[in-house]
Amino acid sequence: MAEPAPTLPVGIERDLRARGFTGLMFFAEKRLIQNDLSLKHDRLQIEVVTNIPYLTPQEQATLDCGEGIQVTLMNSQVFDWNLTLRRNLRGGASSYVLTNNWYNVAMNQIAPGQTRLQVNQIVRLWSCRIPGDAVFYVFVEALIESRSRERGRRR
C-alpha cells in the first residue's frame, strides 16, 4: 500500500491560496547529497516516477524534447527564484533537474532559522499555478530534522 502524499503545513497552504495559487500538488521528495549543494553542479536532480502535476501539454512536450522551461521556485519565507526545469532522459531513467540558480536557492535562507540547505536534509516539492498566469510555480519545503534523529542515523 502506498504511503499518503505529504501535506503542506496549514499556514503555508493558506498563505499560498490567499496569494491566488491553486492546485497545490506534491510531486517529489529528496534527501540532499553534496552534488545538490555544489556551485560546480548548480542543480537539483529529482527522481520523479510520474510526470509533474500541472504541467501543460506544451510544457511537457518541451521537456520531453530535452529543452527547459522557466519556473518560479518559492519557499515559506516568500522568497522567489527563477530557475529552469529540465527533464533528464539519459540511461533509460527519467528525472527532472532544477538548474540555472539552484545554488543560490541552496545557499540562501530557505527554512526558518537556517542560513542554507545541508547535506542529508530533505526537501519536498509541490507544483501549483495562478489561474491565467503562464508561469509554472514550484514550492519548496526544507524539513529540519531533530538532532537526536540525526545522531541515531550516524551510528
Residue 128 sits in a domain of what CATH number?
2.40.330.10
Q: Is residue 5 part of a domain?
A: no
Please state, in angstroms and as integers, the Cα–Cα distance from residue 67 to each residue in 53, 54, 122, 138, following that order. 18, 18, 27, 18
Determine, yes or no, domain membership for 81: yes
Whether the per-residue pLDDT at 41 is higher than 50: the answer is: yes
User: Does residue 147 lie within any of the structural domains?
Assistant: yes
- For residue 4, being part of any structural domain is answered with no
Which of 34-48, 50-64, 120-134 has the highest mean predicted lDDT (pLDDT)?
A: 34-48
pLDDT confidence band for 151 (50 / 70 / 90):
very low
Domain-located, residue 41: yes
Is pLDDT at 78 greater than 70 in this prediction?
no
The answer to whether residue 3 sits within a structural domain is no
Q: Which of 61, 62, 98 is nearest to 81 (CA)?
A: 98
Q: Which domain holds residue 75?
A: 10-154
Mean pLDDT of 131-137: 75
Q: Which residue has the cell 526544507?
A: 142
Q: What is the mean pLDDT of residues 21-36?
A: 89
Q: How far apart are CA 61 and CA 63, in angstroms?
A: 5
Kindly state whether residue 136 falls inside one of the protein's structural domains.
yes
Read off the pLDDT of each residue in 22-44 and give the average, rounded to a whole number. Answer: 91
Does a structural domain hold residue 67?
yes
89 versus 63: the higher-pLDDT residue is: 63
Q: Look at residue 148 and tell me whether its pLDDT is greater than 60.
A: no
Per-residue pLDDT for 83 more than 50?
yes
Tell me the pLDDT of the chain averaged across its residues.
80
Cα separation, 18 vs 14, in Å, equals 6
User: What is this structure's pTM?
Assistant: 0.80
Judge whether 118 and 139 are in contact, CB under 8 Å.
no
How many domains does the chain fold into? 1
